[in-house]
Amino acid sequence: MDKRLFDEAMGDVPPATFDVDGLVTRGRRAVRLRRLTSPATATGAAVVVVTGVVALTLTGNDGGPATGVGSAPPKITTGPSQSSRPSQPSNPTPAPPALCSRPNLETPAQLMPRLRGAVQQALIAQRPSLGVSPHPKAEYPTGVRHEALEFYQVTGDVQVAEPICSGDGYFMTMSTTSVPVEGEGTLTVIVQPDFYADLPPGDCESTTVTPEQTSCELVTTPDGDTVLRTTARMPGGVRQNRVDIDRADGTAVMVTVEDSTGGIKPGGSPTASALPLTLDQLTAIGTAPGMTLFP
């Protein structure tokens, strides 16, 4: 019994359902978020926070498109330095939150369609003129294509009919956005528990900050959600707005938009003249009441 026998037994190998860019993106996020669970990072953050915080209201002046009609983005606070992070207890061994012990937790089968509705509502509130359609990359597993805003489980071990706290899960949706005159882009939303995979948001001093990143700030909403807001411009000109949200209830939400239907890959070309949503709008979408594992 040798390698050749096994290879012959396996036959044709199907295309992988992941690529190196996706792994790097997930890796960056994991590293960034891991830093906040380490005692050393928490100590550093505690030193920063004694300088105090100031409150500010974000009104959409972040270089993105005008908001137009929609609900107001949440009021948020930020530290004096864009790279600082409010102090919070270190949590080197994440554990399910108390909410996991309550009865009648949703299952992924219930969660995913509800999240779709929540995103849809939030989009209408933030930018009603934004159109969405299926994205060519919204295919998982291979051969199974998903509708616009439809959530699907990419990885994790929580079973579709089991309570959401019974295992890790990674639920995402990817859609093509369209705005008259401006063109088409990409909207991606990922929701997952932050108590299984070291997933509180990171800070702007993280070593994972890339040369493509053009801005970064960490803010806290009145509800206690922390939001890492970043912008990036890739070689080739594709731009991205991204928010990584650590909700107070233990839900991690990432919302990104690119001005390209090809996503954030280096070397791609913009397919829109502007990003479809601002950081404020992304923050409002990601912190909408329904964007949680615990409605």
Contact residues toward other proteins (CB under 8 A) are 1-3, 5-11, 13-14, 16-18, 20, 22-24, 26-28, 30-31, 34, 141-142, 155-157, 159, 162, 166-167, 207-208, 210-211
Q: CB-wise, 157 or 223, nearer to other proteins? A: 157
Rounded to a whole number of angstroms, the minimum distance from the CB of residue 172 to other proteins is 13
Query: 246 by DSSP, 3-state: which?
Result: strand
d(CA 56, CA 77): 6
Q: Residue 164 corresponds to which amino acid? A: I
Q: Residue 238 CB, nearest distance to other proteins (Å)?
A: 18
Nearest-approach distance from CB 266 to other proteins, in angstroms:
11
Residue closest to 42 by CA, chosen among 84, 77, 100, 70:
84
Nearest distance from residue 115's CB to other proteins, in Å?
Answer: 20
SS3 for 179?
A: strand
Closest C-alpha to 277, from 68, 13, 75: 68
Encoded amino acid at 24, one letter: V
Tell me whether residue 9 or residue 40 sits nearer to other proteins (CB atom): 9
- Measured from the CB atom, is 9 or 66 closer to other proteins? 9
Q: Which residue, 16 or 40, is less far from other proteins as judged by CB? A: 16
Q: Residue with structure tokens 């380490």?
A: 38
In the bound state with other proteins, the residue whose beta carbon lies nearer, of 120 and 213, is: 213
Q: Which of 227, 283, 236 is nearest to 64 (CA)?
A: 283
* Cβ nearer to other proteins, comparing 8 with 61: 8
State which residue, 24 or 53, has the beta carbon closest to other proteins: 24
Give me the least distance between CB of 227 and other proteins, in Å please.
22
CA atoms within 13 A on the CB side of 102: 10
Least distance (Å) between residue 225 CB and other proteins:
24
Neighbours of 63 (CB within 10 A): 14
**DSSP state letter for 245:** E
Integer Cα distance of 282 and 230 in angstroms: 11
Q: How far is the CB of 219 from other proteins (least distance, A)?
A: 25
Rounded Cα distance, 131 and 105, in Å:
32
Q: Which two tokens stand for residue 122?
A: 């939030």
Pairing of strands 183-193, 213-220: unpaired
Cα 131 to chain centroid, rounded: 20
